[in-house]
Amino acid sequence: MNGVFLFIGGPEIFVILLIVVMLFGADKIPEIARGLGKGMRQIKDATNDIKKEINDSAKNQGIDTDFVRDINKEVNEVKDGIDDFTGPIKRNL
């Protein structure tokens, strides 16, 4: 990806970090990061719980959920085919 994260380059990230340090101070940054990490973990856990409930409900109702796995398999096969086709093109760039 050549050092680009969400269309933000190195200098922009540096400026953002500088502003964060100036606003909150260096001693508050670990607390903020911990809080963000806990929040992200709670969101991920909630999402996994919702997925599990949906899958359990579908199985209890007799709904076949194997089609999702089949679709993912097909998508991955197409991606592999595209990567095989564009591999030499990417290497030449």
Q: How far is 90 from 8, CA to CA, in rounded Å? A: 23
More confident call, 8 vs 71:
71
More confident call, 42 vs 71:
42
pLDDT at 60: 87
pLDDT digits (tens, 9 = 90+) for 79-91: 888 877 777 666 5
* Amino acid sitting at position 38: K
pLDDT at 90: 60
In a domain, 53, yes or no: yes
Judge if 67 and 56 occupy the same domain.
no
Judge if 48 and 71 occupy the same domain.
no
* Amino acid sitting at position 2: N
Per the structure, how many domains does the chain have?
2
Host domain of residue 33: 21-62
pLDDT at 1: 43
In a domain, 25, yes or no: yes
Judge if 70 and 55 occupy the same domain.
no
pLDDT at 52: 92
Q: Indicate the pLDDT class of residue 19, thresholds 50, 70 and 90.
A: very high
In a domain, 34, yes or no: yes
Judge if 54 and 76 occupy the same domain.
no
